[in-house]
Structure 1
Amino acid sequence: MTGVSADFEADLKDVAGKLTQVESVMDLGALRAEIADLEQQAAKPDLWDDPETAQKVTSQLSHRQGDLRRVSDLRQRLDDLTVLHELAAEEGDSGSLAEAETDLVQLAKDVDALEVRTLLSGEYDDRNAVVTIRSEAGGVDAADWAEMLMRMYLRWTERHGYPTDVYDISYAEEAGIKSATFKVTAPYVYGTLSVEQGTHRLVRISPFDNQNRRQTSFAHVEVLPEVEEVDHVDIPEKDIRVDVYRSSGPGGQSVNTTDSAVRITHLPTGVVVSCQNEKSQLQNKAAAMKVLQAKLLQRKKEEERAEMNALKDGGSSWGNQMRSYVLHPYQMVKDLRTEFEVGNPSAVLDGEIDGFLEAGVRWRKQTENA
């Protein structure tokens, strides 16, 4: 739905039908019953005698209340919009009619977004997300590309008002970054961003080539669910090596004068994580341990998935190229799985990626059901 609708009634009916379908999928009666049950559990005086159960109950209650509030607000907006349009039409109020049509365009977008939310039913989809971006083939252009991708995602979080916490940035020598890890806090943000996992390719005239040649560079995006106390990722102290060092910024310059940055190596797997954004070594170690737990949890999931895929014929490949960003000789960003494309790379790189995210979630659901 684009622009001001020429047929308000038809568009309103379409949005109303889609919202009714969303309400049916969400099963509002069962949702209210689940909220009531969780509220009873949360009200028990001995709830926090078991912190793990308490965290699970309060987290589920918050998420379920948010889901109900969101769909109820959309239903109220639809009802109000119907009344507003009827009154404006009766009174011949062109200003209010234009306002109703503009509101309907936004309402349609919000209903579409909620429809996508109903497709996020994975075990960890409602979690916060831990995102890691790494430069791959392409030298200095790839390092610059990795930094551009980090900015794209951070701009997307700003647009939605999602808090972010940058855990670690490893700067490249000439320009850009070798890698970066940050957390995004919002309901269902892991399920939403998980479709971004894979290799992102950039084609452009290299700003680092004095002969102005076209360069193709690559960066990899990894998206993990934030671990919670109930995940039980057991990491014995003997299985890790902790190194401390001074935080550094672009060009290798020292950010502080104390060895507060922390690097943790998981010896059995070779997984390495680091954190340097906090002020104290203790805080950095705690944050790095959470990232390590998330990575080990993801490895466990991948091993289980590999065992299941071995019983099937095929399965989706998440590690391959999944999106191409072409700045020269033409302007195009195209998702190689969903075929969704946009002819304005500047807007995409400024954080306008919702269309890609929604298409990715729908594509993943279709492939799971195929």
Structure 2
Amino acid sequence: MSGDFAADLKDLAGKLTQVESVMDLDALRAQVADLEEQASNPNLWDDPEAAQKVTSQLSHRQAELRRVTDLRQRLDDLEVLHELAEAEGDNASKAEAEGELTRLAKEVDALEVRTLLSGEYDDRNAVVTIRAEAGGVDAADWAEMLLRMYLRWAERHGYPTDVYDISYAEEAGIKSATFKVAAPYIYGTLSVEQGTHRLVRISPFDNQGRRQTSFAHVEVLPEVEEVDHVEIPEKDIRVDVFRSSGPGGQSVNTTDSAVRITHLPTGIVVSCQNEKSQLQNKAAALKVLQAKLLLKKKEEERAELDALKDSGSSWGNQMRNYVLHPYQMVKDLRTEHEVGNPSSVLDGEIDDFLEAGIRWRKQVNAA
């Protein structure tokens, strides 16, 4: 912001106009009208799965349209409010207008970032897997801290989550966890989190209080849909069932309802234990396996192109440092974005990192 209210308001209105153009509001209104017509069909719920998809898409598109039209209305109202405050010399109203301008600028920036998500699967739900890597018990604890960070982030935004599987470590923390986040463009948003996250701190598990560096890997996949056609022949998988367990191996289920699926041709293993029945767990595990196989297929298709790129430009490896000692800082190694308050980041305040990552990726892909 330049401090010149009228100029800042004009610039913001221009940015919103660009966003509206990219979003193609006429096409969005047409989509909403078409989905509303489908939703009003009295036979819609004859196919519950298809009905759920229609109603979910309708809700998302309506929210998207409402979001941008509300921003435009607030900008128009703000111009009137500021003009009245200037004419009457009302300092309180001027301060209110300036505060609203700041809020609107942040919301328009966030909407602009949304328009940068134009990848093939960006508008889908995300399936996230976190794995402890080097660092022993500290790494397991670190993986659990990251799990909490992402779940808190989703909670802050009101995004539904579904934890498919958690494998607890013996002493503390987790070996791995897989969960889904459901909301429009969540895969595109969270995909910039993929890579290795590094933590530096005084280890709470070291009797001598030494500094420890530990690592955890984050994998982000798009949720598969029927149109993806990822067929998995029964002969290509081995299904094992076992009892769900919690921390320390304590049984939390008296039946063998947890499911582990091994894809024999690739060796990929997935598991799910959060559902009540074996069939539900198998269905959820198969969806995760399909997502992994879909990603593998796309990676193979891009392999020749990727081989031509400088491996040093890859953003899929170590991508962020979290330093708790000897100083306090979280820094993204790709975007250079950093903050000096790790506790807020670990409590789910990662929007600025996500936005910076999405903008950075767009620049890299355009280069």
Q: Which amino acid aligns with 2:332?
A: D
Distance 1:37 1:259, change over 3 A: closer
What number of residue pairs does the alignment pair up? 366
SS at match of 1:180: strand
Equivalents in 2 of 1:347, 1:57: separation in Å?
Answer: 37
Sort the Cα spacing of 1:369 and 1:58 in 2 relative to 1 into closer, same or farther, 3 A: farther
Q: Does 1:16 align with 2:13?
A: yes
- Classify 1:132/1:146 alpha carbon distance in 2 versus 1 (closer, same or farther; 3 Å): same
Say whether the 8 Å CA contact 2:164–2:284 is kept in structure 1: yes
Counterpart position of 1:96: 93
Query: Any gaps of 5 or more consecutive residues in structure 1?
Result: none
Instruction: State the TM-score, normalized to the length of structure 1.
Output: 0.91
Query: Contact 1:52 / 1:230 at 8 angstroms: preserved in 2?
Result: no
Distance 1:40 1:308, change over 3 A: farther
The aligned counterpart of 2:143 is 146
Q: Which of 345, 350, 366 pairs up with 2:347?
A: 350
**1:264 paired to 2:272:** no
Q: Percent identity?
A: 86
Tell me what 1:155 maps to: 152
Answer yes or no: is the 8 Å Cα contact 2:315–2:334 preserved in 1: no
Displacement of 1:166 after TM fit? 0.7
Q: Does 1:126 align with 2:133?
A: no
Residue of structure 1 equivalent to 2:334? 337
Deviations 1:230-283 (A, max 9, x none): 111101111111111111111111112111111111111111111111111111
DSSP-derived class of the 1:257 partner: coil
Change beyond 3 A, Cα 1:49–1:249: closer
CA–CA distance in 1 between the matches of 2:100 and 2:343?
A: 27
Q: Please tell me whether the aligned partners of residues 227 and 290 of structure 1 are also in contact (alpha carbons under 8 angstroms).
A: yes
Q: 1:162 to 1:59 in 2, by over 3 A?
A: closer
Q: Quick one: which of 266, 276, 280 aligns to 2:277?
A: 280
Q: 1:216 & 1:238 partners in 2: Cα distance?
A: 43
Aligned partner of 1:218 among 201, 215, 220: 215
How does 1:21-32 map onto structure 2 within 5 Å?
21-32=18-29
TM-score (norm 2): 0.92
Q: Give the deviation of 1:65 after TM superposition.
A: 3.7
Aligned-partner Cα distance in 2 for 1:203–1:54: 48
Deviates more, 1:274-283 or 1:186-195: 274-283
Q: How far did 1:117 drift?
A: 0.4
Q: Residue 246 of structure 1 corresponds to which residue in structure 2?
A: 243
Q: Which residue of 2 aligns with 1:319?
A: 316
Residue 307 in 1 paired to residue 304 in 2?
yes
Q: For the residues of structure 2 that align with 1:345 and 1:245, how far apart are their CA atoms?
A: 38
Is this contact kept in 1: 2:32–2:61, CA < 8 A? yes
Structure 2: which amino acid aligns with 1:345? P
Structure-1 separation of matches of 2:118 and 2:31? 16
1:56/1:230 contact within 8 Å kept: no
Match of 1:168 in 2: 165
**Further displaced range: 46-55 or 219-228:** 46-55
- Counterpart in the other structure of 1:364: 361
- Per the TM alignment, residue 175 of structure 1 is displaced from its structure 2 partner at its CA by 0.6
5+ long unaligned stretches in structure 2: none
Shifted more, 151-160 versus 94-103: the winner is 94-103
Q: Is the 8 A contact 2:123 2:186 kept in 1?
A: yes
Q: Per the alignment, in what secondary structure is the counterpart of residue 261 of structure 2? A: strand
CA 1:47–1:258: 2 relative to 1, 3 Å: closer
Q: CA RMSD in A?
A: 2.4
- Which of 185, 192, 196 matches 1:195? 192
